[in-house]
Amino acid sequence: MSQQSNIIDVTLQNFQQVLLEGSKEKLVIIDFWADWCEPCKQLMPVLEKLANEYSDQVILAKINCDDQQELAMQFGIRSLPTVALFKNGEPVDSFGGVKTESEVREMLSKHLPSPSDDLIQQAQVAMGEGDANRAYTLAKQAYDLDNTDMAAIKLLAEAAVDAGRLDQAKELVAAIPMVEQDSDYQRIKGKLELAEDAADSPELRALQEQVEQNPDDLSLKLQLALKFHEAHRDEEALQLVFTVLTKDVNFEGAKKYALDIINSLPDGDPLAATYRRKLYSMMY
């Protein structure tokens, strides 16, 4: 819809374009007002301020009921000011009389996309393209914005599985309430179980036994750490590398192994931040 401004005076001539077509792209706030109406004059600056603030997401459609009596009758307006919200050509909310800015803002927030929605969409695209680390980073950003958003929680859980962050995925899946355990939940849970099975190979178990029998063999511990890393068990890998570094900070490439594992983690992974701090405190 090509408009110079998102604040528009609505007439019979443009009301279909603004209200019906415009509401397919943005939330339309319809303000029914008149010159003689003092409460209308109190409310209008509030609506205009919010329309400017949310210019990418809303259209403020102003209907002067004295000039546009036919439209006011079509909408059954009985008192002024009256405000209605339109989305996809349908009314979704309304109120009469004067409201404060915070009250109007709260009402709008129910119908506007949340900041996490765009991140979730981008994460889904990254996941579809097989970019597990980017999907994880975006899903984690969405989760950090709203850790009660079930779409963000499920997406982060799945991205964590794909990125090999199995412990974190397990925590997220375990926290999903029964009412949200739908087909997506079952799919993510199944995916996690398969990843956990794949991460526990006979070769890895044999190496674990060797380390248990030779607890002072630092080379063996590094070998096991790398096997954990290959199996996407990065937290265990880092714990093991740091037990080596604690014993001998200069032991044969242990610092490089630690950095390589940390740098392979997705941006935003709290594990990376934790172990990067630990490594720097050891080195400096």
Enzyme catalytic residues: 37, 40
In the block, tokens 């990065």 appear at 234
- DSSP state, residue 52: H
Question: Is the preceding omega at residue 81 within 30 degrees of 0, hence cis?
Answer: yes
In the block, tokens 């809303």 appear at 58
From the list 261, 227, 163, the residue with the least C-alpha distance to 276 is: 261
Q: How far apart (Å, rounded) are the C-alpha atoms in residues 232 and 164? A: 4
Contact 111, 91 (CB under 8 A): no
List the structure tokens of 130. 């097989």
SS3 188: helix
